[in-house]
Amino acid sequence: MTVRAPRSLADDLRQRDDAALSRLLRVRPDLVRPVPSDLTALATRATTAPSVARFIDGLDALRLHVLRIAAAQSAHDPTTDEAILSAAGMGLGDDGHEAVVAALADAVDAALVWGTPRARHVVHAVRDLIGASPAPIWPPPQARLTAALAQADVDAQGALHARETLGLVRDLLDDWSAHPPGVLRSGGLSLRDFAAARRRLHADWPRTALVIEVAHAARLVADDHDDPPHWIPTDHFDGWLAQHTAEQWTALVRAWLALPRLASVADERTQVLSPDRDRGAIPVLRRQVLDILVAAPPGSAVSAESTQQVLDFRQPRRAGELRQLTVEATLREAADLGLTAGGALSTAGRLLLSPADGGTTRAQDKEVAAALSGALPEDLNHVVIQADLTIVAPGPLVAHVARTMRLLADVESRGHATVYRISEDSIRRALDAGWDAASIHSHLADISRTPIPQPLSYLVDDVARRHGAVRIGGGLGYARCDNPETLAAILGDRRLRPLGLHRIADTVLMSQAPARELVEALRAAGYAPAAESPDGQVIIRGPGDRRTRAPRTALVTVRRTPEETLVNAAVRSLRAGDRATRHGGTTAGPAGSVDLPSLSAAAIVSRLRSATADTRPVWIGYADTDGTVTQQVVDPIRVAAGVLTAFDHRTEQVRQFAVSRVTGIADLPTLDQIPSQDEAPTPSG
């Protein structure tokens, strides 16, 4: 049978079977949202420059090469498949010829090339968008393995990095609970506060930026929208602290995967947490790099250079400085987070990055937790206190000991063993949080494997005795003390003159500065003030007292393949719309006027979801805006966000219905049992 040569792309689409139309809608999902009215509209949308550019941006170098050859040969007159294959496969060898054949078939399926094998055309948008370039490297470049490591060693090292990152996040947010940094007008963190966080964490600029950005992406810290605003931990942070170590790590990694910023390119001039640094392509590029690591054998490290070469072949139109930076940043950040060690993926990282079975993550999270827990060293509940006022934790501490250590002491160095130092400031921090000298002595005695050094005991008692001798209250700020000589010393201190202090009584000083600034200035001058409430009670602020509401998770729009039910319904709608256009009218489908059973809103949603899962048609009653209720048969496709997407048999189109306007629903066993318009159907159910 001779196939008539199509005169246009729309004519070509009409000659394709339903399977070919389905393939087109799957590979170019933007064409189905929303569903075009007919095949002519589909052809028009498929040839627009934005749609074509979106598709060819994801093509590899070989498919772009084949498209380029086809576009050049058909610039003036139609060309043939044989001519395209001969020119495109030149110098690629036998396996290259097979790949060229497949690439041309893919271009036809994507409606970029149309016509018969003896008369091929290329849509004009391809000629305008595709540029000249040499033939691609063949065979395609592969990721080069730089080392083969024992998987057990990779898991152990990765677990230590994961533990260290979790500790840095906890240290940072505990510090920001007591001393929250301000939010700039641009929405970022000031350079001064960024430098302070770096000193607090004893980390370099990239690692500090990664900790801050990931904590923010995981909704553990947010803008409190106060006046003035500050970055403070959220209520989600307390729930995160209560989780198991593996659950905490999984939450951070998943937040990092969706992070639209490259934290590890930060330096001392970088404004972290600024939305101006967002790039929507970064999560996609980051995932492509990680997919190359997942494809490598377990224990194998992959070089950054070969990773770049593989990505340049897979998507040459997206090559550039951003992708190069993303490759380098992803490999570094993955190592800092504990996903990799020595350049190879850990078992927990491989499980987390692999697709979840059945589209769910619960079973996957259990496997990740088991893998990470098996590689982590056992937590310790003791430390070694030394005479020089340092405390050595010879390994990772259990959660409650680690948090109290962060309150009682400052981290001096990190590594396999963490060194803390107790000072007057750290003891004062514990006293401000409600501790007293006795509780500090008791806690140190419980966790120390060595006797408490006498200088430490003296230091705790001395700071506790002086703590709160000076009281700071509200208003413009006042200081009171039972010892007039102490207030006289404060009044004569030159460092405190900017506070505008003046004496109004023997035991009371007034200040032009607010209470918060007064407390900070007196502490910096070596005094030990305590804030008090209007009734004279000392104000105790624990690490978890200041919280803000966690922001909602931002929806990330990604290119996704449409559901099979939506594709099938779209094909039916396109066929129906095409028939209606050619016959000059709209095809009338089954509709009726019957009494549908009255159901509750929850029952209607349940029945719609059931019909969607079983792919069966149903009768629905639907109230229009004017209150008129009509009954019609629909094939439910999706129920989400209060909207039913379904194929409407009356108009033979894919439509959206507000679920709140569905007045009733009844099942139909099969389409063959749908009555015609002239009959009065009796729906089941």
Which string of DSSP letters, residue by residue, matches 368-433? HHHHHHHHSPPPB--BEE-TTSEEEESSPBPHHHHHHHHHHSEEEE-SSSEEEE--HHHHHHHHHT
For the chain, what percent of residues have pLDDT higher than 90?
Answer: 36
Helix residue ranges per DSSP H, 130-226: 151-178, 191-201, 205-217
Mean pLDDT of the region 360-370: 81
Mean pLDDT of the region 351-367: 76
Distances (CA, A) of 403 to 166, 265, 381, 385, 445: 12, 30, 12, 17, 16
pLDDT of residue 552: 67
pLDDT of residue 587: 39
Q: Which of 134-138, 194-198, 245-249, 330-334 has the lowest average pLDDT?
A: 134-138
Helix, strand and coil in the chain, % to nearest 5? 50, 15, 35
Q: Would you place residue 504 in the very low, low, confident or very high pLDDT band (cuts 50, 70, 90)?
A: confident
Position of tokens 């970029």?
Answer: 112
62-71 in b/e form (b: 16+ CB < 10 A) is bbbbbbbbbb
For the chain, what percent of residues have pLDDT higher than 70?
Answer: 89
Give the pairing type, strands 643-648 and 629-640. Answer: antiparallel
Please give the mean pLDDT across all residues of the chain: 84
With a cut of 90, say whether residue 572 has pLDDT above it.
no
Q: Which of 121-130, 150-159, 298-307, 608-617 has the lowest average pLDDT?
A: 608-617
Residue 487: partners with Cβ closer than 8 Å, 6 or more residues away: 470, 479, 480, 481, 503, 506, 507, 508, 509
Q: For residues 466 and 658, give the distance between their C-alpha atoms in angstroms, rounded to a whole number.
A: 68
Distances (CA, A) of 259 to 191, 224, 321, 650: 21, 21, 18, 45
Q: For residues 230 and 98, give the distance between their C-alpha atoms in angstroms, rounded to a whole number.
A: 60
pLDDT of residue 669: 45
Cβ-defined contacts of 89-94 (< 8 Å, 24+): 90/135, 91/135, 91/138, 92/135, 92/138, 93/138
Residue pair 674/681 in contact by the 8 Å Cβ criterion: yes
Residue pair 285/308 in contact by the 8 Å Cβ criterion: no
Q: Would you place residue 216 in the very low, low, confident or very high pLDDT band (cuts 50, 70, 90)?
A: very high
Query: Which secondary-structure segment (H or E) carries 454?
Result: helix 454-466
With a cut of 70, say whether residue 536 has pLDDT above it.
no
With a cut of 80, say whether residue 533 has pLDDT above it.
no
For 364, the token pair is 């996957």
pLDDT of residue 546: 61
- For the chain, helix (H) and strand (E) counts, in that order, are 26, 23
With a cut of 80, say whether residue 667 has pLDDT above it.
no
pLDDT of residue 183: 92
Whole-model pTM: value is: 0.73
Q: For residues 190 and 183, give the distance between their C-alpha atoms in angstroms, rounded to a whole number.
A: 7
Give the pairing type, strands 529-531 and 470-473. Answer: parallel
Residue pair 109/24 in contact by the 8 Å Cβ criterion: yes
Position of tokens 């900017």?
Answer: 498
